[in-house]
Structure 1
Amino acid sequence: MKTRESMIIKSIQAKYLLQAFFMLAFFVVFTACDPNDIADDDGSGDISEETLVINEWIDGVMKEVYLWSNKIPSTVNYKKEADSEELFNKMLYTEEDQWSWITDDWASYLKELEGTPVSMGYAPAFFYKDEVSKEVIIIVKYVYKGSPANKAGLKRGDIILSINGQMLNDENYYDLYSGNSYTVGLGAYSSATNTFALNGVNVPLTAVSFSADPVLHYEVKEIEENKIGYWVYTDFTSGVNNNFLKSVDAVIDSFKQSAVTDVIIDLRYNPGGAPSTAAYLASSVAPKFVVEDKKVFLKMVYNKKLQDYFEQKNDDEDRYYRFSASTGNLNLNKIYFLTTQSTASASEALITGLQPYMNVVMVGDTTRGKYTGAWVLPDTNEPPKHNWCMVPIVLKYSNSSGFTDFKDGIAPDIYVKDYLVPAYPFGNLNDEVLATAIAQITGTPVSITKSARKKSVFRELHPKEMELKGAFIVPRKELDSAGPE
């Protein structure tokens, strides 16, 4: 019988199984060996056959495609690990990798990737109520149109103090927030006393599957002689039947018809997504010659085995994303991005990918610093042997100038703190981050109301479960049957 590793290599096939939904990679990754062929004397006696199958799948795939495969500890033994998630975590190179993750609920994650999550449809920011308290508040950063939260009247800037009658603290807040049906208790903030209090408004919410269009808001602001296109974009996903790309097209068409002179793209709450979608958006705003010449948008580097394989194949699509003339184009020479520490992954790829070709101005805070990409790896056996799915880091990306490894994030050209207490509606000029960008365009400071100048700073919490979902998801086409030897 051939070695387990060689059988895994020869069975890795990337397929566009769901390209009608989104350009995402799915891999058939399995061993031809039957579980009964595993030697009896292998130390796996206390592990169920089901767990052993999952563990072998994890071990084999990680050793072949993981970016830091040479850093996997030799002491890790998949035959002796009763917890498959723990096995996966033990294989990670934690000095650099904060992003790889695994789930035993592939079906739910698939809906998120399609842009049809089962969700209430609001994006939370979690803060401590004050400098010493363990009590937590939720600020609503935005609400998706057509979502349960939207239909219930929840809006950007709302303050949630309780869920199902329980006040939130740093031990219960995420479990309560993650429920599928609950009632939120809203509150109000007093700047005079720097305190929060329930206001008696209770909003029942139940998670459903809905279409979460990442084009959250766009408008054209005419200020002095400038026509400024402002666009809030929350996630790089193409959607079912590319319907979210059609939303991008609608924005570009609107800006074209309005003859905008400047564009501001708000990526403050965009954790990433598909680089193919980032390339699509970049092609919509880049200088025309860049798009027509199909210049390099991003370069990708894999572990040595995969890199050698792709270079030997000499397939451009495996190693580069390029600008494409398949979309409308604004032919801009300068663009503005609003950023925070939540701006990550494909958002950073969009910013850095455009920098060699046009004047890119960042207003806001330093970005997250995620320069790596992942493949989504469920079990694609028919029928599947399990419902697990890995999202391991398999590459790092750079722009055409070679800029990468920005572990500390990308610093803004103009620093402005994104205060969410209060959080103004998108497009409101009391939003200081937006107002600062507009002032850079017009050369005239934007008048902000006195109340808007009162700012409150609170300690923010960043649940790892939410940060991991902001993956740079790389589409893959079919590898030849030989695989990367």
Structure 2
Amino acid sequence: MNKHFTLAMKMAIVGVLGSAMLSACRKNDAKVDNSTPTASSVVSNEDSLKYLMYRIMQVTYVDGGRNKTTNLPTYFWYNQVPQLDPSASIYATADDLLATMKSYSVSNGQILDRYSFLDRTGSLSSSLQDGLSETFNKVSATGTYGMEVSYASDNNGKTYLYIVYADKNSPAGQKGLNRGDEIVAINGDSNISYDGNTNVQKVTNAIYNSTSVTLQVKKAVSGTVANYTLQSGTYNINPVLFDTIYTVNNQKTGYFSFYTFTNTINSKGAATLTKSTLDALFSKFKAAGITNLIVDLRYNGGGSVATAEYLDSAIAPSSAAGKPMYYYKYNDKLTADLEGTGLESSVPFPANTGGLSLRNVFFITSSHTASASELTLNNLLPYMSVKLVGDTTYGKPVGFITFNISKYDSTHTKQYLADLYAINFATENANHAGGYYTGIAPDEPANDYINVPWGYRTDDDNLDKIFNYISTGSFARTSANARVLTQSAANQRAAIQYSITSPKFNGMVDYRIGNRIH
């Protein structure tokens, strides 16, 4: 095997890279310098992946444009990781090595890196960048059903299985399945109650790891029960699950539920469905003259940072134009060579910021609200009235520089190995507030009743509390403004958090620079 491997760098970066990086990395391939000694020879694809991943994160790389070795480890916590032998037999896979490296990212006894991972299929790139559905299931590359499910419980502890959302364009959405619909049987099997074990795995396999499934569903609104047979498929992602305009205390209030930050511009430089959908949505809000906005991010784990910047510029007041949107914090090696690498220290609000005259923006959050979602709301805090309602967010104030790792075999054939997503920097808002590894707490706690369809203002605890704030200036309820429930407490179904583990991506990526260097 050749001593020198080739690293195909897709500089898909959370943030904005400057022209210096572009001129330095005109080639798709940047040679990896393997001068650091290792204890054994790299012979297999897995050993190659371990070796290349370790060097990218911990040592250095040869810049393809300047063709010289630079002492620039890319991992945010590189200086806390001791020298390791990536080819050692104790690391059966590159994932094992990565897990060991992540374990050294300790601060105050807490491991901070819960995020770095390897994508061995490369499907995430096309999903986030081009707005095509991600291939979740392990059985086939034919796509997904396009929905998320969760268990919930009532006041007596009985459990239920609900659809928490479905993309309008997905196989589930096209069949009319949506939030609040109860799944009462899967493939004729009604033994699906929550047990934390066998039933959970059975449901997980049926929803996320199969290519065909038949669901018996009780509809949220009508209460009718019917069977729905779904085939997994690919589709153009529509990240807006629901939107409407309410009138609250004579104030126009816009609302939309947003479940993923798919990119606004695809790999060919064309506007995606995400951009056209958001353009139309904010045009509608502006025409209606809304003075309050509710952004529902309770199931949004992040995605493209370009879309986060779009939302921030659309929501922020025009007075924020030209001012810092957010700052970066890199490791000491990258920080010392920002000019040479082309990495920027901050991102400003664009000149076209504004368009809405908002008194408040409310974000509905949960423990699933992560990454680009947290970036979006944190960026707005220095510039306007921002209120969080729901639950504490996931806690991910850090981002990736992603690398497409490949090698050439003995026949000079290029072999793809994996995409590396390892943490490279943290973000802070204009007030230098960040570091929310344990999440961002809400201003007002609220329950997530997942049997309540989108937009049901009297039964959605989050919306009800927000409307009370708009009307009275306070989230607190008094006897004078006690809520009149249309749904009895006995029928409220609170989500059991993380009762089912979804394979959905959690993070944020910027593909703009990658598009320009390919």
Classify the TM-score, shorter chain: 0.7 to 0.9
Give the structure 2 partner of residue 195 of structure 1: none
Closer, same or farther in 2 for the Cα pair 1:339/1:453, shift >3 Å? farther
User: What secondary structure sits across from 1:59 in the alignment?
Assistant: helix
1:141 aligns with 2:178: no
Give the 5 Å matches for 1:15-414.
Answer: 31=31, 42-44=39-41, 48-63=43-58, 64-78=73-87, 80=89, 81-93=91-103, 95-107=111-123, 110-117=126-133, 118-126=143-151, 138-166=161-189, 167-168=191-192, 169-186=199-216, 201-239=226-264, 240=266, 241-243=270-272, 244-291=274-321, 294-310=322-338, 312-313=339-340, 318-326=344-352, 329-379=355-405, 384-414=414-444
* Shift in Å, 1:12: 5.8
Distance in 2 separating the partners of 1:255 and 1:445: 29
Q: CA 1:305/1:463 → structure 2, altered by over 3 Å: closer, same or farther?
A: farther
Deviation for aligned residue 1:137:
5.2
Tell me the residue number matched to 1:14: 11
Tell me how far apart the structure 2 counterparts of residues 13 and 211 of structure 1 sit (CA, whole Å): 23
1:336–1:437 Cα contact (<8 Å) kept: yes
Unaligned runs of at least 5 residues, structure 2? 17-21, 59-72, 106-110, 134-142, 193-198, 473-480
Deviation at 1:255, TM superposition (A): 0.8
Matched residues in 2 for 1:236 and 1:357: separation? Answer: 22
Tell me the SS of whatever aligns to 2:241.
strand
Please state whether the residue corresponding to 2:399 is helix, strand or coil. Answer: strand
- 2:216 and 2:126 map into 1 onto residues whose CA distance is 31
Q: Does 2:451 correspond to 1:451?
A: no
TM-score (norm 1): 0.81
Q: Deviations over 1:95-136 (max 9, x none)?
A: 111111112111365335432112211122245899999xx8
Return closer, same or farther for 1:50/1:91 CA change in 2, 3 Å cut-off. Answer: same
SS in 1 for 2:379: helix
1:466 pairs, out of 496, 500, 503, with 503
Matched residues in 2 for 1:461 and 1:130: separation? 19
Structure 1 spans left out of the alignment, 5+ residues: 20-24, 191-197
Deviates more, 1:343-352 or 1:71-80: 71-80
* Cα 1:162–1:305 shift into 2, 3 Å: farther
Aligned AA for 2:231? Answer: T
The alpha-carbon distance between structure 1 residues 419 and 200, as it changes in their structure 2 partners (threshold 3 A), is closer
Asked whether the 8 Å contact 2:259–2:297 carries over to 1, the reply is yes
* Residue 439 of structure 1: how far off its partner (Å): 1.6
Amino acid at match of 2:381: Q
Structure 1 residue 440 displacement after superposition: 0.9
Cα deviation for residue 392 of structure 1 reads 1.1
CA–CA distance in structure 2, aligned partners of residues 457 and 334 of structure 1 = 27
* Structure 1 residue 267 displacement after superposition: 1.1
Q: Match for residue 63 of structure 2? A: none
Q: Distance in 2 between matches of 1:287 and 1:335?
A: 11
- Corresponding residue SS for 1:119: coil
What code does the residue aligned with 2:102 have? L
Aligned to 2:455: 426
* Secondary structure of 1:221's aligned partner: strand
Alpha-carbon offset, residue 368 of structure 1:
1.2
1:476/1:148 Cα in 2 relative to 1: closer, same or farther (>3 Å)? closer
Contact kept, 8 Å, 1:333 with 1:359, in 2: the verdict is: yes
- What is aligned with 1:435? 464
Within 2, Cα distance between the matches of 1:374 and 1:439?
A: 39
CA distance in 1, matches of 2:33, 2:431: 45
Tell me the distance in 2 between the aligned counterparts of 1:389 and 1:13: 9
Q: Which moved more, 1:161-170 or 1:389-398?
A: 161-170
- State the number of aligned residues: 447
TM-score by structure 2 length? 0.76
Give me the CA root mean square deviation. 3.7
User: Cα distance 1:119–1:327, how it changes in 2: closer, same or farther (>3 A)?
Assistant: farther
CA contact (8 A) 2:309 2:376 kept: yes
- Deviation of 1:185 after TM superposition, in Å, equals 3.1
Q: Provide Cα deviations, 1:45-80, integer angstroms capped at 9, x if missing partner.
A: xx7432232222211112121111122243443354
CA contact (8 A) 1:235 1:273 kept: yes
Q: Secondary structure at the match of 1:218?
A: strand
Q: Separation in 2 of the partners of 1:33 and 1:395?
A: 23
Q: Determine the C-alpha separation between the residues in 2 that align with 1:32 and 1:86.
A: 22
Question: What letter is aligned with 1:432?
Answer: D
